[in-house]
Structure 1
Amino acid sequence: MSVRQLPQTLALQRQLIQQLADGKTHSGEALAQQAGISRAAIAKHISQLQQIGLEIFAISGKGYRLAQPLQLLDVTQMKQWQAPGSPEVLLQHLTDSTNTQLLKRLQDGQSLQKGQVIVAEAQSAGRGRRGNDWYSPFGSNLYFSIYWRLEQGIQAAMGLSLVVGIAIAKLLERRYQCPLKLKWPNDLYVNHKKLGGVLVELAGQTHADCDVVIGIGLNIQMPTGGESKINQPFTDLMQEVNSQIDRNQLVAELQHQLIQTLKHFEVYGFTDFISEFNQRNEFAEQTVQLTGGSEPQIGVCKGVDHQGGLILQQGGQLKSYFGGELSLRVKQ
């Protein structure tokens, strides 16, 4: 596919998704007439949409329909929910990674406003910690990245992923009465299953201004078959709450919550967030194992210290551990 064809293809596919979003059955002939292409071309586009995670059923003799109605992200609707003066939200149909897109803008010398957000309907190269893939099916979840700048330098980012987790937890608790737990250093849990994760990426110097890109992946309504793509127990908001999830409202409210939380973090640092993390600590008082360092560390999880380090009780002593390569697991 040529570069010239790509935007036209994406526009046509978005048109198809908008037509199918009501969850009703649409004939291939009607879709072809509306798009001005052949039924064979429609079938090809449907196949491509299925490959990016859309559950579309092909019903012999009738046409196509989505497994369930779909609410598309819409910048106009987001603006209705945004707090006054909020930076704009950029929306992409399909991208490699929302974090990558913000980092690319920084590398290209673009000036970004603190609180600038990019969201996408799907990611082809979504990332988790330690280079792990992040399963990003179309229109099912929230793929969200926000830009921030820390004038105090990289050292001021200690504990930042935990602060972001707390901000998300407070919003979901307030909006949906959904009690979140946090797994150090960056995972969101509900009922002992993973709901989402945070990926903080930094660009700057130790004692100079530091650009920060914060990526958030949040499961909203995972499609059937997600189990085959994810290697751990997971859940989504639709399973956990008794209300409909408006993704456009959620994007706007998450942006506002993060801006307010990050402003507080800039002034007071991580100290003000210690008790909030410890109240939501998924593995509080459990014997856990830290892996990824030179050797596994086993101890009782006692929460976090004033820098966001994980405190383990080992042999009667309390020790703090840091480092982006550490992963936390319950000791079996």
Structure 2
Amino acid sequence: MSKASLQVQRQLLAVLADGGFHSGQALAEQFGVSRTAIANYINDLEQVGLDVYKVKGKGYGLARPLLLLDAQRIKKLQSVGTAPVFVQHITDSTNLQLLQMLQNASPPLKATVVVAEAQTAGRGRRGRQWYSPYGSNLYFSYYWRLEQGVQAAMGLSLVAGCALCSLLRREYQVNAQLKWPNDIYINGHKIAGVLVELAGQADAACNVIIGIGLNIALPETALQHINQPYADLTQATGQLIDRNKLIVQLQDELTNALNTFEIEGFKPFQQIFNQYDVFAKCLVSISGSATASGICLGVDENGAVLLEQDGNIQAYYGGEISLRAST
């Protein structure tokens, strides 16, 4: 899509964002394009997961009002001196965009964030696809330079999860819980996931990309793409969520958490994780590169999950393993 077409598409969205109906003819006249072009723009948005109603005699309307990402509003909400937030319309993956920035002659500032309205190649843990419909979620990637190197990065996904869980509880009054090693749940339903990617040498500073996908207001079609119970923040709070404000809050929360992590390691986060552990004292199973079952006792001071098996406590570290409730 050309730059001019992208601009019209964004302007069209700004009009539709009020949740009301707008006739195709009026939209075509407003933007100086044909009704066919408007229909094509709408079709493109539907292809990236936006719910649009088409009603004869009324025109086009979004299934629900939409607060679009706004770079200027985000900057106004930030404290002076905060690293920039780059807002993209539709991208492949916000993590990939940050990784590409690291290859530039001028790398990003520490705590730089990239967000997008939609992703075409969103990724979860272990290479899984992350469902990324337009304007429905928060697609958020955060850059940090860890001076202690790759070996000091153990537990980073848990630190990011603790930061997000604490933010959701404090600012949005939802009963968020943590699932080792990288998920956030509300009332037994997944609402967010964390993907940490590292680039660097074991004996030198490494670059850290923390990707967070947070469900904000999933469309009705989400059930066709998600194979597990899910929650979103709009449903959990009963409020229209301003993602621009949430982005600034999350950037600040992660910066504070990572500053603490660099100085004190994972230990300060151990109590937070264990307090909000969704599987605390539950029978669980581990699968993947290791297999085991036992009673979940939370995590140790390094972020390893602890399972009690026949009176013995065994620690299991991250990597290619997953944790599930057992019956």
Residue 306 of structure 2 is matched in structure 1 by 311
Q: Which of 85, 88, 92 is residue 81 of structure 2 equivalent to?
A: 85
Partners of 2:125 and 2:260 lie apart in 1 by 25
Residue in 2 that maps onto 1:158: 154
Partner residue, 2:120:
124
Deviation >3 Å, runs of 4+: none
Does residue 1:302 correspond to 2:297, yes or no?
yes
Following the alignment from structure 1 to structure 2, what is the Cα–Cα distance between the partners of residues 96 and 278? 35
Aligned to 1:222: 218
Match of 1:201 in 2: 197
Q: In the aligned structure 2, how far is the partner of 1:115 from the partner of 1:199?
A: 16
Rounded to whole Å, the distance in 1 between the matches of 2:72 and 2:204 is 37
How many residues are matched?
327
Matched with 2:19 is 23
Q: How does 1:314-325 map to 2 (within 5 A)?
A: 314-325=309-320
The C-alpha deviation readout for 1:95-144, integer Å capped at 9, x for no partner, is 00000100111133431111100000000110000001111111111000
Q: Secondary structure at the match of 2:45?
A: helix
Identity within the alignment, %:
54
Distance in 2 (alpha carbons) for counterparts of 1:209 and 1:190: 35
Cα drift, residue 296 of structure 1? 2.2
Aligned-residue CA RMSD (Å): 1.1
In the alignment, structure 1 residue 44 sits paired with structure 2 residue 40: yes
Residue type of the partner of 1:276? I
Instruction: Assess if the C-alpha contact under 8 Å between 1:103 and 1:213 holds in 2.
Output: yes
Matched with 1:143 is 139
Q: Does 1:272 align with 2:268?
A: yes
- CA distance in 2 between partners of 1:296 and 1:109 (Å): 44
The answer for the alignment partner of 2:229 in structure 1 is 233
**Runs of 5+ consecutive residues of structure 1 not aligned to the other structure:** none
1:122-176 deviations in whole A, cap 9, x for unaligned? 0011000000111111111100000001010011111111111111111111111
Check the 8 A contact 1:176/1:243 in 2, yes or no. Answer: no
Q: Is the 8 A contact 2:181 2:318 kept in 1?
A: no
2:113/2:143 contact within 8 Å kept: yes
Which residue does the alignment assign to 2:287?
A: 291
Is residue 107 of structure 2 the alignment partner of residue 111 of structure 1?
Answer: yes
5+ residue gaps in structure 2? none
TM-score of the aligned structures, taking structure 2 as reference length = 0.97
Conserved in 2, the CA contact under 8 Å of 1:166 and 1:277? Answer: yes
The answer (yes or no) to whether the contact 2:280–2:297 under 8 Å persists in 1 is: yes
Deviations, residues 13-46 of structure 1 (Å, cap 9, x unaligned):
1111111111111111111112221111111111
